[in-house]
Amino acid sequence: MPILREKLSWSIPRRRSPAELTPDEQAGVRRALKALRVRHGVKVLAKLARCSAATLSNAASKRAPTVSTALLLARVAGVPVSDVLRGEWPRLGECPLCGHVTGGKVGDDE
């Protein structure tokens, strides 16, 4: 039976899990989180999303947002999760408080 005389260590390269978000998707989730925090406040948003305020705080700054965070925010916002992941919600020029689009009128053909 062979005896190890020196310490050996093996490491497996870390692969991205299918549940992890890409950097662009993470930016979209953070953008939605920022708008919802302005609209509702942290405590109310945590209650609406049914998670802790610490979870939202970590997703905003420290850790990478998860798929579950994106799903919770999409449900609170009332939009498809694909809009949150692609960064399409809130739309550019949309007020984070009321959702009103600033600039010209939508659908104005003149």
Per residue in 61-71, pLDDT tens? 888 899 999 99
pLDDT, residue 13, reads: 73
CATH 2.60.40 describes domain 23-86 = no
Give the span between the Cα atoms of 9 and 15, in whole angstroms: 19
| Max Cα-Cα span within the chain | 87
pLDDT, residue 78, reads: 93
Per residue in 79-96, pLDDT tens? 999 999 999 998 888 887
pLDDT beyond 60 at 29: yes
Query: What CA–CA distances, in Å, run from 99 to 26, 28, 37, 47, 109?
Result: 22, 17, 13, 21, 22
pLDDT beyond 60 at 33: yes
Q: Where are the domains of the chain?
A: 23-86
Total number of residues shown for the chain: 110
pLDDT beyond 80 at 19: no
pLDDT beyond 60 at 108: no
Question: Mean pLDDT across the chain, nearest whole number?
Answer: 84
pLDDT, residue 16, reads: 63
